C-alpha cells in the first residue's frame, strides 16, 4: 500500500501499512517508523505532530496536513523520536 493510501486509511479510521512497513496505522494512530505523527482523540480531533525528523517523514507529514483541511486538528511540537502517545504534548 502506498503512503498516501495509508494516510487515507488513517483518516477513515482503518488499519493499514505501507508496502515497506515504515508507515502504519493502528489504535487511532499514524506511525512513521517508531514515532506517532498523528493521533485521533475520542472527540474526533486529530493531533498532528509538527516536529521535523527526516525528509521522508516531512513528506508524509505534508501529505497528511493537506488531507486534514476542514477537520478538527491540534498541532503538537517538540515530540521526541519513539513517542507512542501525543496527548502529553498538547498545550
Residue 21's pLDDT band (cuts 50, 70, 90): confident
Contact 41, 35 (CB under 8 A): no
Cell of 84: 507512542
Asked if pLDDT for residue 20 goes beyond 90, the answer is no
Contact 52, 79 (CB under 8 A): no
* 26: phi then psi, degrees, rounded to nearest 5: -175, 150
pLDDT tens-digit map of 56-66: 999 999 999 99
- Counting runs of H as helices and runs of E as strands, what totals does the chain give? 2, 6
Each residue's pLDDT tens digit, 35-62 = 999 999 999 999 999 999 999 999 999 9
Helix ranges (DSSP H) in 1-91: 3-11, 55-67
3-state DSSP call for residue 63? helix
pTM above 0.95? Answer: no
Taking residues 5-23, report their average pLDDT.
Answer: 90
Amino acid at each position: 500500500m502506498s503512503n498516501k493510501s495509508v494516510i487515507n486509511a488513517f483518516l477513515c479510521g482503518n488499519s493499514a501499512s505501507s508496502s515497506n512497513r515504515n508507515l502504519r496505522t493502528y489504535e487511532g494512530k499514524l506511525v512513521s517508523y517508531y514515532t506517532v505523527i498523528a493521533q485521533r482523540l475520542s472527540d474526533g480531533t486529530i493531533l498532528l505532530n509538527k516536529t521535523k525528523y527526516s525528509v521522508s517523514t516531512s513528506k508524509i507529514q505534508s501529505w497528511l496536513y493537506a488531507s486534514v483541511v476542514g477537520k478538527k486538528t491540534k498541532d503538537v511540537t517538540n515530540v521526541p523520536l519513539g513517542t507512542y502517545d501525543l496527548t502529553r504534548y498538547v498545550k
